[in-house]
Amino acid sequence: MKRNNIFRKLFQLTSNKPEFSLNADSFNPPHNRPADSGDETGECLTTSLAHNRKTLESIFGLPTNKDVVIRDFTITSLNKKALIIYIDGLSDRNAQNFAVLQPLMLLSRGHLETNEPIDIAYERLVPGQQVEKTKKLEDVINGILEGSSALLIDGSAEAMIIETKGWEHRGIDRPSNEPVVRGPQEGFNETFRANTASVRRYIKDPKLITEIMRVGTRSRTLLALMYIKDIANPALVKEVKRRIKSVSETTDYIAETGQLEEFIEDHPRSLMPQMLSTERPDRVAAHLREGYVAVMMANSPYALVLPTNFAIFLHAAEDYYLRWPFSNFLRFIRAISIFIALLLPSFYIAVVNYHQEMIPTDLMLAMTAAREAVPFPALVEILFMEFSFELIREAGVRVPSIIGPTIGIVGALILGQAAVSASIVSPILIIIIAITALASFVVPNYNATFTIRILRFLFIILAGFLGFFGVSFGVFLITLHIANLNSFGVPFLTPIAPYHPQNKDRVIRPRAYDQPKRPIFLRPLDWIRQRDISRPWDKPSSSSSDEGDDNYEE
């Protein structure tokens, strides 16, 4: 039984089940924090301002907690005591001063007599555009935590939540990890609403739905689920929601989409990225239009697009903005560089150690001569250099930008020049490492790069032990693995295997007007993306796409 478990664990890579490590029932009863505090102090507000103030003070830990500010004042026209409560730094001072305090204190002249002061304030006094009345303490707390100001008036059991959100944030910037030459140059940033709006700017369709949820019982981070209602498959949307909901109830803190990804992906033990994380609104929009679902979170400049397939290794945003011959050229370069980045060092090892006969004699003599002075076996040599390169790469990310150029000097001079002159590595190996490094930078997705970087070491070791046999073993193993992968029910190798003849955007990008069907593997509600003949003035071409897709099932 135990052995069986070990085996099962060893091969659990294959499991199809979504696994959530945290389970709501086995864990502490999950409760949202505000709801908790609401339970302690009563759900609703009272008519007494002093009492309400005391409640709020105890919830927010005043006066210890200096973030929360309470401003007491009197509403002139009503002659009532009132207060606004907000979080310093999350609220916009100007909005508070000119849209809340000034109208209430200075501009409301005359005398109004009423039993429901909050209604008067709502209807006449506060000019804010997004104002909400509530009796619930929980809403007040949530509103305050998000940067709104809550207005409480003596004698009223209701509060007004006035939208005064405004905090320091980064402006819209160029996408730093997915730059393109041709195409839109703006990326997401950390502002939630700016991100959702920038996607909507690409799709002006009322059917584009943005559902908002919160994840993390403590962080309560805002999360937006975007999809086009009459394209995206409802089952997919439901599944995504189910997983996110489960996470939101079970875990206390989710800061970023990268963290969420790990919680909701299908194969947490796999090396393959199973969601596309992108910082380009145009890319999200393009995917939404095909029936994908996007997940965005506040404070995260990366959106998740799911499900995904092998295209994550190959397709880039720019492919669709260039004319098809150009983008296909890039696709080929990319496809080749994936192989180089994965396999070139292991090929070198295999050839040097096992298959010397493969290379022409002259080249082999040159290589042997270069290796003559090197005291290490080729495997040690290449592991050493690959490791150094990974060091440069990681150091390049972490190094303070002021001393950034040092990395270049250390990397290029010491590791390249000096290592060769000291006969620690052979010059040919430096070339191999350099080409591999360049090729690994061509991979368009940051997560996918990691897969390739890690697998490269596996291949090097396999090649060191068994030559080409080991490398082919590795390739077959990886292929078996990715052929089995699923991302939200979509096989990783679609539309190649399982094969969908109608979706031709696999390795080669078909001409833009020649892709009438949406990705069928997503089972979209509406398959047709454009008319079969988008260029009616052309002569009918022979390449029609009326080939039946046999893999389609209702």
Residues in contact with another protein by the rule CB under 8 A: 4, 7, 11, 14, 16-17, 350-351, 354-355, 357-358, 360, 466-473, 475-477, 479-480, 483-484, 491, 493, 496-499, 550-551, 553
Which lies closer to another protein via its Cβ, residue 3 or residue 539? 3
Closer by beta carbon to another protein, 363 or else 373: 363
Q: Please, what is the minimum distance in Å from the beta carbon of residue 465 to another protein? A: 9
Distance CA 152, CA 136 (A): 12
The least CB distance from residue 262 to another protein, in Å, is: 23
Query: CB of 307: closest distance to another protein in angstroms?
Result: 16
Parallel/antiparallel/unpaired status of strands 303-306 and 486-487: unpaired
18 vs 258 by CB, closer to another protein: 18
Looking at beta carbons only, is 387 or 469 nearer to another protein?
A: 469
With contact defined as beta carbons under 8 Å apart, do 259 and 243 qualify? no
Under 8 Å CB-to-CB from 452, ≥6 apart: which residues?
313, 338, 341, 342, 440, 443
Helix, strand or coil for residue 121? helix
Query: Would you tell me how many other CB atoms lie within 10 Å of the CB of residue 301?
Result: 23
In angstroms, what is the minimal distance from the CB of 377 to another protein? 16
Burial classification of residue 228, based on how many CB atoms lie within 10 Å of its CB (0-12 exposed, 13-18 middle, 19 or more buried):
buried
Cβ–Cβ under 8 Å, residues 493 and 482: yes
Return the number of the residue (34 or 470) whose C-beta is nearest another protein: 470
Pairwise CA distance, residues 528 & 502, whole Å: 11
Cβ atoms 31, 48 nearer than 8 A: no
**Distance of closest approach, residue 471 Cβ to another protein, in angstroms:** 8
Beta bridge partners of 293: 306
Based on DSSP, count helices (H) and strands (E) in the chain, helices before strands: 18, 12
Tokens of 263: 């919680």
Structure tokens at 304: 């998740």
State the DSSP string of 390-447: HHHHHHHHHS-GGGHHHHHIIIIIIIIIIHHHTTSS-HHHHHHHHHHHHHHHH-S-HH
Closest approach of another protein to the CB of residue 12, in Å: 10
Judged by beta carbon, residue 179 or residue 501, the one nearer another protein is 501
For another protein, the closer CB: 3 or 109: 3
Would you say 65 or 479 has its CB closer to another protein? 479
Closer residue to another protein (CB): 44 or 359? 359
Six token digits for residue 487: 């991302």
Task: Report in angstroms how near the CB of residue 7 gets to another protein at its nearest.
Answer: 7
Q: How far is the CB of 520 from another protein (least distance, A)?
A: 13
Min dist. Cβ of residue 295 to another protein (A): 25
**Nearest distance from C-beta of residue 353 to another protein, angstroms:** 11
Q: CB under 8 Å, gap of 24 or more: what pairs does 446-451 form?
A: 446/177, 446/277, 447/273, 447/277, 447/312, 448/273, 448/312, 448/313, 450/271, 450/273, 451/271, 451/272, 451/273, 451/313
Q: How far is the CB of 479 from another protein (least distance, A)?
A: 5
As measured in angstroms, the least distance from the Cβ of 480 to another protein is 5
| b/e code 85-96 from CB counts within 10 Å (16+ = b) | bbbeebbbeebb
Q: Are 341 and 454 in contact (CB under 8 A)?
A: no
Indicate the residue among 187 and 495 with the shorter CB distance to another protein: 495
Contacts of 285 (CB under 8 A, 6+ apart): 199, 202, 203
Tokens for 5, please give them. 């478990």
Identify which of residues 1 and 397 has a Cβ nearer to another protein in the complex. 1
Question: Considering beta carbons, is residue 32 or 472 the nearer one to another protein?
Answer: 472
d(CA 324, CA 509): 7
Residues 6+ apart with CB under 8 A from 289: 203, 228, 231, 529
Strand order in 221-228's β-sheet? 208-215, 221-228, 293-297, 303-306, 276-278
Within 10 angstroms of residue 312's Cβ, the number of other Cβ atoms is 23
Nearer CB in complex with another protein: 27/499: 499
Nearer to another protein, 104 or 350 (CB): 350
Q: State the nearest-atom distance from the C-beta of 469 to another protein, in Å.
A: 6
Residues 374 and 319: their CA atoms lie apart, in Å, by 44
Smallest distance, another protein to C-beta of residue 204, A: 38
CA–CA separation, 504 vs 487, rounded Å?
A: 20
